[in-house]
Structure 1
Amino acid sequence: MEKTYSIVFYSKPVVDTVKEMKDLLKSKINWYNSCNSEAHITICEFKIDESQIDSVKQKLIKICDTFTPSQAYLDHFGSYDNAGAFFIAPNEETKNNLKPIMKKIHETLKSLNLKKSDDPHMSIARRLTPENLKIASQLFTTINIDFLCNEIVLREFDPVKKQFFVLDSIGFGSNPEPEFVQGSLF
């Protein structure tokens, strides 16, 4: 059976902090897209037959072994006006640390039909009207949260609850791939 999966950066303490923000926004504008989803930074989303998920996990374990943990800092808000998205954004250093990881995961899973995210951000709300986007940006003006980014999380979509749930987490191994060095015979 085909299922929908996503790969994300995820931190439980951050989830709780952002939930409070989402609930406050919901109290001002009522229900909105992603008001009930747990905070995360999307890397990609894909649909595959559930029989293939173990193969995907093995690829992710192998690539994650090469990643080194780093502190992630989210220090400002942003929006994608065309999508009505309001989000928490990482600082430049964090963005520069996360982007290569995201790119390597995209390359590792390129045989799948990925819905990729190339710009690391943590959504608070999606598909807001321009008026509600303005309310969100007036409600939230400063942010300073951080977490140790030392794993990725594989999630599965529950079509009944219409939410993703954590399937597995895959830690970073701090074992960079050895560089290929051209040897000399003489």
Structure 2
Amino acid sequence: MNLKLNRDWYSVVIYPQAKVIDEIAVMKDKFAAKIGWFASRNSKAHITVVVFMADQYELNFYIEQIEEFCYTQKQQEVVFDQLSLSKFSRAIVLLPNDLSKAYLTDLLKRLRKQLRTSQTINGSNAHISIGRELSSAQIELAENLYDQVSLKFNCDTVAIRKFNETKRQFEVIKTFKFLENPLIDTQYLLFN
């Protein structure tokens, strides 16, 4: 009898509202019209927190940790207004402004700490990918493709995505809203 459980790839991401997801899709469509298919062409806008492999029981652990984190997490508007075209990283990404970067850096650090196990792989600094694994020529074609970019959204949702082998994409399987509840001091409760 084989008791070994199947393990799948998952990612935990900060997930923007539909309007921003649609705006990023338009940017990807414009880039695809210029160069054709590219890595992360069909991926919906997100900010990667961690990636991990898990069976159904391990996944439940991550779900509980995310629920606990989101219970007290406060929402905040973030702005992505810097377009980075990097031949070194072979990517085109949107970066947050300084105020949003500070908030997101802290948010990602605390959420990664909450989820830290030997199974997790941290994402990088907060960014939203337009295209990845691009050639220098593809990046050059994109240099004058976009006007000034400024995307704003209320940072209020974490999502778990599961890798779909058939589509070769991660797909959202569960979302969690920031509930903004007060932190309960358990030591204080002991004296009441």
Same fold (TM over 0.5): yes
- Whether 2:137 is the aligned partner of 1:124: answer no
SS of 1:138 mapped into structure 2: coil
Q: Which amino acid aligns with 2:11?
A: S
Q: Report the alpha carbon displacement of residue 178 of structure 1 after superposing the two structures with TM.
A: 5.7
Distance 2:86 2:186 in 1: 41
Distance 1:3 1:97 in 2: 31
The answer to whether the 8 Å contact 1:87/1:123 transfers is yes
Distance 1:131 1:112, change over 3 A: same
The answer to whether the 8 Å contact 1:156/1:165 transfers is yes
Q: Which amino acid aligns with 2:181?
A: N
SS of 2:105 mapped into structure 1: helix
Counting matched residue pairs gives 182
Equivalent of 2:33 in 24, 27, 38: 27
More deviation, 12-21/120-129: 12-21
Map 1:69-148 → 2, pairs under 5 A: 69-148=75-154
The residue that corresponds to 1:6 in the other structure is: 11
> CA offsets per residue over residues 71-124 of structure 1, 9 Å max, x none?
011111013432201011111111111111111121112114222124100000
More deviation, 138-147/158-167: 138-147
Distance 2:40 2:166 in 1: 15
Which runs of no fewer than 5 residues in structure 1 stay unpaired? 182-186
Q: Which amino acid aligns with 1:47?
A: M
Q: Which amino acid aligns with 1:31?
A: W
Distance 2:181 2:67 in 1: 12
The answer to whether the 8 Å contact 1:64/1:173 transfers is yes
TM-score relative to the length of structure 1? 0.90
Distance 2:103 2:60 in 1: 27
TM-score relative to the length of structure 2? 0.88
What percent identity do the matched residue pairs reach? 27
Distance 1:140 1:168 in 2: 32
Q: RMSD over aligned Cα, in angstroms? A: 1.9
Which runs of no fewer than 5 residues in structure 2 stay unpaired? 1-5, 188-192
Q: Which amino acid aligns with 2:7?
A: E
SS of 1:35 mapped into structure 2: coil
The answer to whether the 8 Å contact 1:102/1:118 transfers is no
